[in-house]
C-alpha cells in the first residue's frame, strides 16, 4: 500500500483561477498578503480559543454558570456545524470571498455579545452565534487555500496555519489570565473582535478582485443539508444539557446520540461511519482525535486551578508547551509528511496523544506534581501537529473544484461534532463524579479511549496502491 498522499491530477490547482504559474512559496509576493491575513485570522481564532479555555473558570464564577460550563464550549462547536454546511455549499456555487465576509461578521458579533453578557445564559447565546461564524470561517479559508495556492503549497499553508498557534500558545493563556485579573475577562472577547476585523480586511483587499469562481459550480440541493445540520447541532446541544434532565438524563443522551448519528451521515462522505478507505476514514479520524484532544484540554487548566491552586495566569501556561510542540509537529509534517506516510504519522501521532491523556489521568488520580501534567500534555500537541495538517491536505487531495466546499465542511463538521460530543460526555461524567476523586481521571481516560479508536481509520486513509481518490 502506498503511503503517499493521493494525487488529484484531474483538478490540478495550478490550473485553477487565482493559482498562477509562478513557482514561489507561500510568502511569494503573489500570495504574501493572503497568507499574512489568513494566518492572522487563524492566530486570532487560536488566541480566542486558548483564552476562553483559560478564563472560563473565572467567567463561570462571575456569572454563576457552573451548570453551563461545558455548554459554553460544546455549544459553540455544535452551531459551527450549521455555518460549515451553509458556507461549504455557498463556496461550491461561487467564490469564497462573500461567504468568508459573512462568517467573520457572525464571529465578531458573537464575540461582542459574549464580551458584554450580563449573565451566563447571554454569554452562551453569544458563543452559539460565534460558533456559526467560526464554522463558516474555517471552511471558507480552506476553499481560499484550494483556489489561490497551487497544490504543492497546500502542505506549507496548513503547516503555517498550525504554526499560527505558536505565539498564542506562548502569550495567549498568560495574557488572557493577566487581562482577566488586571482589567476584566470581558476584554478577552472584545479585543479579539476588533483585531479579527483588521485581519479580514487584509485578506479581503487581496481577494475581492480575483477570479475565484469554478467553471462548473455545484448545483446540489442545500435545504436538506441545512436542516440536517440543524438537527445535528440541536442533538449536540441536547447532549450538553442532558445533565439538567434529572432522571431523564439517560434518555436524553440516547436520543441525542441517535439523532446526531442519523442526521450527520448525509453531511459526511459516504461510508464515513463504516470506516471506508480514503476520504471517509480521513474525516472519521479527525472526529476522534478532535474529541480526545479538545474534550480533555478544557480540564487541564481546570485541574490546575481547582486541585493545585494555580492562578488563571499560571494555569494558562499549562497549555503553552502543547501548543509549541503542535507547531513543531506541523512543521515536521509539512516537510516530511510524504516521506513518513499516512500509517507512520497515524501511529506516531496517536501514540503521543495517548501518552498525554494517560499522564493527565495518572496525575489527577495519584495527585502527582503539577509539572507532570504540564510536561505530559505537551506530547498531545506534538501528536496533533503531525496529524491535523496531514488530514487537511489529504482532504483537498481527494477533492475536485466542485466539491471542495462539501469536503472541507465535512472535515470541519467531523472536527466540531467529535469535539462537541466528547466535551458533552466528559462534562456529564465530570458532574456525576464531582463529589469524588474520580472526576478528572475519568475525563482523561475517556480521551485516551478515543485516541486508541483513532488508529482504525488512521490506517485506512489511503485507498489503494495507486493512491486513487475516494469517490465522494
Note whether residue 195 is domain-resident: yes
1 has a pLDDT exceeding 80: no
pLDDT at residue 23 above 70? Answer: no
Would the pLDDT of 253 be above 50? yes
The pLDDT value given to residue 318? 67
Has residue 420 got a pLDDT over 60?
A: yes
In a domain, 468, yes or no: no
Under 8 Å between Cβ of 144 and 90: no
412 has pLDDT over 70: yes
Which DSSP category does 286 fall into?
H
Supply the pLDDT for residue 90: 83
Q: Considering the domain boundaries, does residue 277 fall inside one?
A: yes
Cα torsion 320, 296, 38, 394: sign: positive
HSE, side-chain direction, 13 A CA sphere, residue 437: 6
pLDDT at 216: 57
Task: Compute the mean pLDDT over every residue in the chain, rounded to the nearest whole number.
Answer: 81
CATH code (residue 341): 1.20.1250.20
Residue 314 pLDDT class (50, 70, 90 cuts)? confident
Contacts of 73 (CB under 8 A, 6+ apart): 52, 53, 56, 298, 423
Question: Which residue carries 487563524 as its cell?
Answer: 42
| pLDDT at residue 4, rounded to an integer | 36
pTM for the full model? Answer: 0.72
H helix or E strand, kind and range, residue 403: none
Summarised one tens digit per residue, pLDDT across range 331-384 is 888 788 778 888 899 999 999 999 999 999 999 999 999 889 989 999 999 999
Identify whether 471 is part of a domain: no
Domain range holding 338?
A: 9-458
The most confident of 66-70, 255-259, 468-472, by mean pLDDT: 255-259
User: What's the average model confidence in pLDDT over 182-193?
Assistant: 82
> Region 444-468: what's the mean pLDDT?
85
Give the ranges where 149-278 is alpha helix by DSSP (H).
Answer: 154-163, 166-182, 186-207, 223-240, 249-264
Residue 467 lies in a domain: no
Q: Which tops the pLDDT comparison, 254 or 21?
A: 254
Which grid coordinates are listed for 306? 481547582
Q: What is the DSSP letter of 244?
A: G
- Mean pLDDT is highest, among 44-53, 204-213, 463-472, for 44-53
Instruction: Tell me the three cell numbers of residue 144.
Output: 481560499
pLDDT value at 49 more than 80: no
Please tell me which of 152-156, 213-217, 399-403, 459-463 the model is most confident about, judged by mean pLDDT. Answer: 459-463
- Is the pLDDT at 432 greater than 60? The verdict is yes
**CA distances in angstroms from 92 to 53, 83, 414, 439, listed in the order given:** 34, 14, 19, 44
- Note the pLDDT tens digit of each residue in 175-186: 777 777 777 778
Question: Highest mean pLDDT range out of 105-109, 176-180, 399-403?
Answer: 105-109
- The residue among 282 and 50 whose pLDDT is bigger is 282
471 pLDDT tier (thresholds 50, 70, 90): very low
Place of cell 451521515: 265
Average of per-residue pLDDT across 194-203:
90
Please state the domain count of the chain.
1
**pLDDT for 16:** 38
User: Rounded to the nearest 10 degrees, how much is the dihedral formed by the CA atoms of 443, 445, 448, 454?
Assistant: -70
Please check whether residue 466 lies inside any domain of the structure: no
Please report, rounded to a whole number, the percentage of residues in the chain having pLDDT higher than 90: 24
Q: Within a domain: residue 238?
A: yes
Asked if residue 185 is part of any domain, the answer here is yes
Phi, psi for residue 427 in degrees, rounded to 5: -65, -45
Most confident region among 36-45, 61-70, 72-81, 240-249 by mean pLDDT: 36-45
Confidence of residue 469 (pLDDT cuts 50, 70, 90): very low
pLDDT at position 358 = 97
Provide the 8-state DSSP code for 464. S
Rounded distance, CA 100 to CA 277, Å? 31
What would the grid cell of residue 192 be? 479579539
Whether residue 448 has pLDDT greater than 90: yes
Amino acid at each position: 500500500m502506498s503511503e503517499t498522499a493521493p494525487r488529484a491530477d484531474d483538478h490540478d490547482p495550478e490550473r485553477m483561477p487565482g493559482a498562477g504559474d509562478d513557482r514561489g512559496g507561500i510568502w511569494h509576493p503573489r500570495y504574501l498578503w493572503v497568507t499574512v491575513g489568513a494566518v492572522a485570522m487563524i492566530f486570532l481564532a487560536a488566541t480566542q480559543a486558548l483564552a476562553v479555555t483559560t478564563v472560563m473558570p473565572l467567567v463561570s464564577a462571575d456569572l454563576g454558570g457552573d451548570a453551563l460550563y461545558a455548554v459554553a464550549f460544546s455549544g459553540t462547536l455544535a452551531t459551527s456545524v450549521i455555518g460549515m454546511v451553509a458556507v461549504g455549499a455557498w463556496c461550491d456555487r461561487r467564490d469564497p470571498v462573500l461567504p468568508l465576509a459573512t462568517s467573520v461578521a457572525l464571529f465578531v458579533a458573537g464575540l461582542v455579545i459574549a464580551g458584554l453578557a450580563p449573565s451566563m445564559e447571554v454569554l452562551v447565546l453569544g458563543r452559539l452565534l460565534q460558533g456559526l461564524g467560526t464554522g463558516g470561517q474555517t471552511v471558507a479559508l480552506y476553499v481560499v487555500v484550494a483556489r489561490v495556492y497551487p497544490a504543492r503549497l497546500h502542505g506549507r499553508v496548513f503547516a503555517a496555519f498550525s504554526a499560527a498557534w505558536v505565539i498564542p500558545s506562548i502569550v495567549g493563556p498568560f495574557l488572557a489570565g493577566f487581562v482577566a485579573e488586571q482589567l476584566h475577562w470581558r476584554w478577552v472577547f472584545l479585543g479579539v473582535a476588533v483585531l479579527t476585523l483588521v485581519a479580514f480586511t487584509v485578506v479581503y483587499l487581496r481577494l475581492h478582485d480575483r477570479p475565484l469562481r469554478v467553471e462548473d459550480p455545484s448545483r446540489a440541493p442545500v435545504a436538506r443539508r441545512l436542516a440536517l445540520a440543524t438537527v445535528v447541532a440541536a442533538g449536540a446541544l441536547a447532549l450538553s444539557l442532558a445533565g439538567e434532565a434529572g432522571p431523564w438524563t439517560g434518555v436524553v443522551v440516547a436520543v441525542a446520540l441517535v439523532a446526531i448519528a442519523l442526521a450527520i451521515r448525509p453531511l459526511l462522505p459516504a461510508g464515513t461511519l463504516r470506516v471506508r478507505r480514503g476520504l471517509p476514514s480521513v474525516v472519521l479520524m479527525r472526529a476522534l482525535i478532535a474529541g480526545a484532544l479538545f474534550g480533555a484540554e478544557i480540564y487541564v487548566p481546570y485541574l490546575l486551578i481547582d486541585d493545585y491552586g494555580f492562578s488563571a495566569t499560571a494555569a494558562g501556561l499549562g497549555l503553552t508547551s502543547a501548543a509549541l510542540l503542535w507547531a513543531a509537529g506541523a512543521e515536521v509534517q509539512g516537510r516530511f509528511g510524504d516521506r513518513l506516510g499516512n500509517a507512520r504519522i497515524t501511529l506516531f501521532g496517536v501514540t503521543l496523544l495517548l501518552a498525554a491523556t494517560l499522564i493527565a489521568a495518572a496525575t489527577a488520580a495519584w495527585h502527582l506534581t503539577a509539572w507532570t501534567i504540564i510536561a505530559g500534555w505537551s506530547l498531545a500537541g506534538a501528536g496533533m501537529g503531525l496529524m491535523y495538517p496531514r488530514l487537511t491536505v489529504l482532504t483537498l487531495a481527494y477533492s475536485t473544484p466542485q466539491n471542495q466546499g462539501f469536503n472541507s465542511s465535512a472535515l470541519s463538521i467531523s472536527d466540531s461534532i467529535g469535539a462537541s460530543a466528547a466535551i458533552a460526555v466528559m462534562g456529564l461524567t465530570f458532574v456525576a463524579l464531582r463529589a469524588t476523586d474520580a472526576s478528572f481521571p475519568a475525563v482523561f481516560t475517556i480521551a485516551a479511549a478515543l485516541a486508541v479508536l483513532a488508529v482504525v481509520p488512521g490506517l485506512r486513509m489511503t485507498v489503494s496502491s495507486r493512491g486513487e481518490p475516494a469517490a465522494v
